[in-house]
Amino acid sequence: MTTKYTKDHEWVRLDGDVAVVGITPYAAEQLGDVVYVELPEAGKSFAQGADMAVVESAKAASDVYAPISGEVIEANAALAGAPETVNESAADAGWFVKLKPANAAEFDALMDEAAYAAYVKGLG
């Protein structure tokens, strides 16, 4: 499975023909303690870059953007009762949605792990 990243600190991992989406550990760290996550319902479609979800922490509320275009096939219902999972496991159990990708080229154009790490390092 390949994981790609956006400059808005979302990650997307292709698992066959399903794209799993979340926010990066860096984003979760910047937010602080996550207290609420608002996720879209299955069946909703998003264009790349569209507001897809909201994550709230004690510090701020932040939009989460669709890293690629696609249709939501599943939202991570576990986050409703345990939003802190985003802080504890941003890259795994804290995933937000699973998408049916609409355009494979969008995924290919995102940053790989090395490029994202260099991007984050440049933010400091």
CATH of residue 69's domain is 2.40.50.100
Domain count, the chain: 1
Domain-embedded: residue 25: yes
Domain-embedded: residue 122: no
> What's the distance, CA 19 to chain centroid?
10
Domain-embedded: residue 87: yes
For residue 66, name the pLDDT band (cuts at 50, 70, 90).
Answer: very high
The answer to whether residue 62 scores a pLDDT higher than 90 is: yes
Domain-embedded: residue 54: yes
pTM attached to this predicted model: 0.95
- Closest by alpha carbon to 70, among 42, 47, 50? 47
Domain-embedded: residue 120: no
Domain-embedded: residue 8: yes
Owning domain of residue 86: 2-103
The answer to whether residue 124 scores a pLDDT higher than 90 is: no
Domain-embedded: residue 77: yes
Q: What is the pLDDT of residues 23-33, one digit of tens each?
A: 999 999 999 99
- 5-44 burial, b at 16+ Cβ within 10 Å, e below that, comes to bbeebbbbbbeeeebbbbbbbbbbeebeebeebbbbeeee
- Mean pLDDT in residue range 53-76: 96
Phi, psi dihedrals of residue 26, rounded to the nearest 5°: -60, -45
Domain-embedded: residue 58: yes
